[in-house]
């Protein structure tokens, strides 16, 4: 009898667990990735994973992912691992979730953070002080990475990519495509004048998100409204107050795409200052997780949710394995985001 698609996925996952392709403690691909790999719907994938959890082969960890369950009588204690990280809790909503994903994964046991001085990182190299390095706020270039790689320590970039660095491990999201997906939603909603709020220093991730805004327009055969691109300098610097006032008063935009939550918060404050309660009529998409924001504006804004906890879990696994096997190939992994839609108005009709 021919097996159904769910039966084939179930059998293949069981075989990979039995042959230790997916070893105990290993994170499985996300539901979205399994859907793409096997050409299945998300409900089908979820049913298969739920059955494997019921069979005691997998376990789900809220906000982190699905892992192969360690059914040994006693779990092996992981050796001490001193992890150098390049950022403190300057943005607790963001970095804290990466740390939590790391320490709550099987490979995160007995990992101790060694916070590196970001400003002096490439002058005062950590050397023997760390066993591996995880860079979450890296905005340097190839030469900066080369100096760290010369230490011979396992290294991974989290939510960062360096162009032309094929020998560097990273786990990230497709910033350009995910922002395009969020803006495409607004365009399908009927909006044609979508303001793009971006920062001035243009980190690689922010630059890619701005390009995603442009891509969404071009994909629908529309002209990119360059006049609706607003920088942080315009939002925050007193000498740009008149330009900001005109931008808000002219009301040329009907929706907003924000490159991150920090820019979004500044925009809300300034818009309420200049435009009062009119912000409630704006459809907004933010490239950041707003689920922990409690203000009324945020509760009505859609957002692009990155898999931050999964970043941490994958980074811990890679760094441990690379320490054991220095010949291990660097991972280069893109994870999918979730577009969380919060409707506030009936669909608009394009003119």
The C-alpha atoms of residue 24 and residue 72 are separated, in whole angstroms, by: 9
Query: Six-digit token pair at 317?
Result: 């696994």
pLDDT of residue 320: 94
CA 141 to chain centre: 21
Tell me the helix, strand and coil percentages in the chain, rounded to 5: 45, 15, 40
From 100-104, 189-193, 227-231, 243-247, the region with the lowest mean pLDDT: 243-247
The C-alpha atoms of residue 161 and residue 64 are separated, in whole angstroms, by: 22
Query: Which of residues 47 and 23 earns the better pLDDT score?
Result: 47
Helix (H), strand (E) at residue 265: helix 261-275
Per-residue pLDDT tens digits for 172-181: 999 999 999 9
The C-alpha atoms of residue 295 and residue 318 are separated, in whole angstroms, by: 38
Please state, for a pLDDT cut of 70, what percent of the chain lies above it.
83
Average pLDDT over residues 244-270: 84
Average pLDDT over residues 199-211: 81
114, 67 Cβ separation under 8 angstroms: no
Task: Set out the domains of the chain in order of their start, with CATH numbers.
Answer: 5-68 (1.10.10.10), 81-173+307-336 (3.40.50.2300), 175-305 (3.40.50.2300)
Q: Residue 168: what are its φ and ψ, rounded to 5°?
A: -110, 135
pLDDT of residue 311: 94
Identify the three-state secondary structure at position 31: helix
Instruction: Grade residue 349 by pLDDT with cuts at 50, 70 and 90.
Output: very low
Residues 6+ apart with CB under 8 A from 194: 183, 186, 187, 213, 225, 228, 253, 254, 255, 256, 257
CA 237 to chain centre: 29
Query: Six-digit token pair at 329?
Result: 């190939």
CA 346 to chain centre: 29
Average pLDDT over residues 147-163: 85
pLDDT of residue 170: 93
pLDDT of residue 147: 81
pLDDT of residue 256: 92
Average pLDDT over residues 155-160: 91
Query: Which of residues 349 and 187 earns the better pLDDT score?
Result: 187
The C-alpha atoms of residue 135 and residue 144 are separated, in whole angstroms, by: 12
pLDDT of residue 347: 44
Average pLDDT over the chain reads 82
The C-alpha atoms of residue 11 and residue 173 are separated, in whole angstroms, by: 29
Average pLDDT over residues 272-298: 76
Q: Which of 103, 109, 155, 113 lies closest to 134 in space, CA to CA?
A: 155
Instruction: Grade residue 278 by pLDDT with cuts at 50, 70 and 90.
Output: low
């Amino acid at each position: 009898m021919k097996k159904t698609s769910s039966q084939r996925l179930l059998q293949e996952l069981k075989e990979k667990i039995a042959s230790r392709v997916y070893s105990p403690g290993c994170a499985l691909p996300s539901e979205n990735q399994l859907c793409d790999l096997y050409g299945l719907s998300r409900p089908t994938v979820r049913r298969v994973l739920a059955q494997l959890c019921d069979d005691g082969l997998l376990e789900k960890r809220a906000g982190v992912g699905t892992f192969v369950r360690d059914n040994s009588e006693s779990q092996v204690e992981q050796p001490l691992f001193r992890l150098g990280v390049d950022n403190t809790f300057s943005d607790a909503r963001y970095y804290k979730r990466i740390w939590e994903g790391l320490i709550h994964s099987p490979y995160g046991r007995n990992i101790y953070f060694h916070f590196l001085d970001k400003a002096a990182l490439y002058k005062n190299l950590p050397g023997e002080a760390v066993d591996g390095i995880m860079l979450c706020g890296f905005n340097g270039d190839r030469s900066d990475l080369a100096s760290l790689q010369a230490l011979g320590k396992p290294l991974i970039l989290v939510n960062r990519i360096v162009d032309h660095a094929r020998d560097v491990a990273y786990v990230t999201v497709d910033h350009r495509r995910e922002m395009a997906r969020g803006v495409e939603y607004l365009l399908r909603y009927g909006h044609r004048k979508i303001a793009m709020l971006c920062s001035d220093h243009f980190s690689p991730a922010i630059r890619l998100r701005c390009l995603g805004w442009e891509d969404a327009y071009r994909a629908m055969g529309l002209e990119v409204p360059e006049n609706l691109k607003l920088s942080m300098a315009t939002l925050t610097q007193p000498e740009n107050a008149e330009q900001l006032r005109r931008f808000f008063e002219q009301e040329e935009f009907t929706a907003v795409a924000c490159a991150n939550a920090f820019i979004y918060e500044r925009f809300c404050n300034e818009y309420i200052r200049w435009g009062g309660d009119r912000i409630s009529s704006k459809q907004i998409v933010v490239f950041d997780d707003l689920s922990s924001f409690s203000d009324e504006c945020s509760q009505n804004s859609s957002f692009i949710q990155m898999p931050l906890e999964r970043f941490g879990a994958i980074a811990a696994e890679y760094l441990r394995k690379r320490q054991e096997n220095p010949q291990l190939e660097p991972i280069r992994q893109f994870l999918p985001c979730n577009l969380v839609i919060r409707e506030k108005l009936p669909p608009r009709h394009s003119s």
